[in-house]
Amino acid sequence: MSTLDVPRVALPEPVVARPRRSVPVWLAVVAASLPMFMATLDNLVMTTALPVIRADLGSTVGQLSWFLNAYTLVFATFMLPMATLGDRLGRRRMMLVGLGVFTLASIASALSTTSGALIAARAFQGLGAAAIMPLSLTLLAAAVPPARRAVAIGVWGGVSGLGVALGPVVGGAVVEGVSWQAIFWLNVPVALVALPLLLLAVPESRGLWQRLDLPGTAMLGGAVFLGIWGIVHGNDDGWSDPRVLGPLVVAALLLPAYLAWARGRAYAVLPLRLFSSRGFSVANVIGLTFTIGMFGTVFLLSQYLQIVHGYSPLEAGLRTLPWTAAPMVVAPIAGAISARTGLRSLLVVGLALQTASLVWFAALTEGGAGYSSFVVPLAMAGVGMGLTFAPSATAVLEGLPEDDFAMASSANSTIREFGVALGVALLVAVFLGNGGQLSPGGYDGAIGPALLTGAAAVAVAVVAAFFAPGRVRR
């Protein structure tokens, strides 16, 4: 053992705190899920508003990507250290701090008058979200007996799906009816409701005390940031440009450096021992490749419906509902039946549906098809997402002790948020690399290759799903 390795010491108080008997379990589920709903909503709430924001602030295509990437990059970078702080200082306490930072950053976003100010405010939103989303699943899993955990996580996945569903619609409705700034003002009343619910229904809990891994956090965070930076700027500056190639090379070197650093260190920001769980490993491969394909496609397709088909932001958001609304219905059902069907079968079917839908989208967009032709593949994609959310969240925790739930869920959320940022950056890079432009004729010959790239990423997730656990162990 390294002399720098400080073993984790159990705190004297109970590691897992159960809900008070006077508080219904369903209320604890709602209280833990509502802040997570805000964080999920803000992943996609800007997609249908981007053309309006671009016209108002004079943003470039690269800045449009960074309105999303600034959020997801900071979100992904700080979730793991926030989980460690939650174990030390209290998980509910860290959620409350994150909720406060998220709300203040939402206000700053609404008041932004330049693209740079909006990007900075979105980054602070991501910092607040980093203390919200992973801890919400941890508190929920600790509050529910193992026999009911899959169903509860299915409800949690449904709320997450609700955020996905309402993101484009809320963004479109608010932009069309009020202004793009109102997208961020909406977070304030939601936070005012979530705060007392957390205090009332979710008891404080802590995990195992461990030291903060600042070098490991810097290595992983640097790899994420520099990798995305290089991809985003590759088409604009040229892939051989030192400002692009340098960050990509450094990012590639930081990953093995972290593996060498984390080996044998129990306090590592992402402990390598977690990967001994097959469910955890498979769920993270799926989380990365699934989000690369699907969320990169959401970004491009939302713009396509407005710029090529001429829909308003609200009209475009409503037309994505066959896709984005389905998970909030399907995810709870998937969680309820996963004990009988097993996780593997649900994941394989769900991811296969999504892969087929993206290939279908590519054919329709390149063929200039009308909206009615998109309805069936949109529904396929939505059902597939619903079949993926709950089983993958359950698989992350499968076979791990409850002391590791916060770290495991944070790691999975980190990888998924990295996938969101990478998916947007990668598909936009493919789009621009094929001569794509934000004009009615600028999508021809460019959006098809981008969507097929997304389909290829989700196809990797299909292969990984065959190695997922079957039935959940009790």
What is the biggest distance separating any 2 CA atoms in the chain, rounded to whole angstroms? 65
**What mean pLDDT comes out for the span 376-381?**
95
| Res. 365 pLDDT band, cuts 50 70 90 | very high
- pLDDT band with cut points at 50, 70 and 90 for residue 8: very low
- Residue 410 binned pLDDT confidence (cut-offs 50, 70, 90): confident
State the Cα–Cα distance between residues 286 and 390, nearest whole angstrom: 13
Locate the DSSP E strands across 285-444. Answer: none
- Between CA 132 and CA 137, with CA 135 as vertex, the angle to 5 degrees is 110
Q: Give 60-65 contacts, CB < 8 A, sequence gap 24+.
A: 60/115, 61/428, 61/432, 61/438, 62/232, 62/233, 62/236, 63/115, 63/119, 65/232, 65/424, 65/425, 65/428
d(CA 387, CA 384): 5
Asked if 143 contacts 28 with a C-beta cutoff of 8 angstroms, the reply is yes
Predicted confidence at residue 349, as pLDDT, reads 96
DSSP string, 339-357: HHH-HHHHHHHHHHHHHHH
> Which domains, and CATH codes, for the chain?
25-202+269-465 (1.20.1250.20)
What is the mean pLDDT of the segment spanning 273-280?
90
How far is the CA of 215 from the CAs of 149, 152, 211, 270, 318, in angstroms?
35, 36, 12, 12, 45
Assess whether pLDDT exceeds 70 at residue 371: yes
In the predicted structure, residue 352 carries a pLDDT above the cut 90: yes
Q: Are 286 and 351 in contact (CB under 8 A)?
A: yes
Q: Tell me the HSE value of 90 on the side-chain side, using a 13 A CA sphere.
A: 11
Is the pLDDT confidence value at 163 over 50?
yes
Q: Over the chain, what is the mean pLDDT?
A: 83
Instruction: Please name the helix (run of DSSP H) or strand (run of DSSP E) that holds residue 378, with its range, or none.
Output: helix 375-397
Strand segments (E) across 241-303? none
Q: So what's the pLDDT on residue 320?
A: 83
Q: Is the pLDDT of residue 76 over 50?
A: yes
Question: Where do we find the tokens 């998916």?
Answer: 423
What's the pTM?
0.80
375 half-sphere exposure, CB direction, 13 A CA radius: 4
Residues 6+ apart with CB under 8 A from 129: 38, 39, 42, 71, 75, 98, 102
What pLDDT does residue 45 have?
78
Closest among 176, 246, 183 to 42, alpha carbons compared? 183
Distances (CA, A) of 376 to 163, 205, 309, 331, 351: 22, 45, 18, 19, 16
Kindly tell me if the per-residue pLDDT of 472 is higher than 70: no
> Is the four-CA dihedral 343, 346, 348, 351 of positive or negative sign?
negative
Lowest pLDDT segment from 212-216, 352-356, 385-389:
212-216
